[in-house]
Amino acid sequence: MQTWLEGPGFLSPYGTMGADMSYVLAIAFTVLFMIGWRYAKQRRGQSHHAVTLWAMLAMIAYFVAYYVNRGLGALAFEGEEGFGGPPELYDTVFSPLLTFHILVVTLGMVMAVYMIVLGFRTSVRRGAERALVGGILRGSGWRFAGWVLLASTVIPLILFGVRILFSTPTLGKFIGWLSSGLLVGIGVLIVEWLGRALFPDGERRHRAIGVFTMVLYLVALLTSTMTYVMLYVLWKPTIG
């Protein structure tokens, strides 16, 4: 898999298969999110729920798979040598842009997990349609935190257990999986606490945070496009 991901791509002269697949999927996920957002504006709750839920699950699954095979695949983690453009452009434009992109994508993963949970907590199925329900969400914040931390510990351990069936287990890999899960869990809790403070009403919270998440994904696609062009279209990478 690693060899295939590092092979020649199909979108640009210097792209790799991993980079090209990542960019194509970034476009596909964003398009699906925009379709789901349009369904929400049209009050087509079940269509919105189905499209957005499965798009987010697919995005998370791909992110985990790419993390396993490429260690996130970001050339930024490999140093300045990966950027084929002028050194001064790396310091002033590329490095800050890629750092911002990584932060946006990381936050996007957290928001995907949170919006999946929030979607089920704030909606009900009424016949063939699904609708948001207003009012304060049931359950205490501490109970929610307990379930989130439990899930963010158990799920990474299960994924680590599956992963070591195909590779040699190491302490570093174990810490990496566990810390990644806990960071996502802590991020979900931060968003939940902010949501409770700003939008106590569940329906209003879902709509407000949903709009923020959709805008965030548009920003992620924009920064992904800019970094892709700078890495694989304008100049040839010096590694890979």
Please write the tens of the pLDDT for every residue from 142-182. Answer: 889 999 999 999 998 998 888 777 777 788 878 888 888 99
**Cα(30)–Cα(217) distance, integer angstroms:** 6
Alpha carbon 223 to chain centroid distance?
14
Higher pLDDT, 192 or 126: 192
What would the mean pLDDT of 184-207 be, rounded to a whole number? 95
Quote the mean pLDDT of the chain: 86
* pLDDT tens-digit readout, 21-56: 889 999 999 999 999 999 999 999 999 999 999 999
For tokens 């063939």, name the residue: 128
Q: CB atoms < 10 A from the CB of 171, how many?
A: 7
Provide the whole-model pTM.
0.88
What is the structure's pLDDT at 46? 95
* pLDDT tens-digit readout, 58-113: 999 888 877 666 554 444 444 444 678 888 898 899 889 988 998 999 899 999 99
Q: Tell whether the model's pLDDT for residue 211 goes beyond 50.
A: yes
**Cα(85)–Cα(233) distance, integer angstroms:** 11
What is the structure's pLDDT at 147? 92
Q: CB under 8 Å to 110, separation ≥6 — which residues?
A: 184, 187, 188, 191
218-237 b/e (C-beta count within 10 Å ≥ 16 → b): ebbbebbebbbebbbeebeb
Cβ–Cβ under 8 Å, residues 80 and 73: no
Q: Tell whether the model's pLDDT for residue 232 goes beyond 60.
A: yes
At 16 the three-state DSSP class reads: strand
What is the structure's pLDDT at 210? 96
Q: Which two tokens stand for residue 181?
A: 């899960």
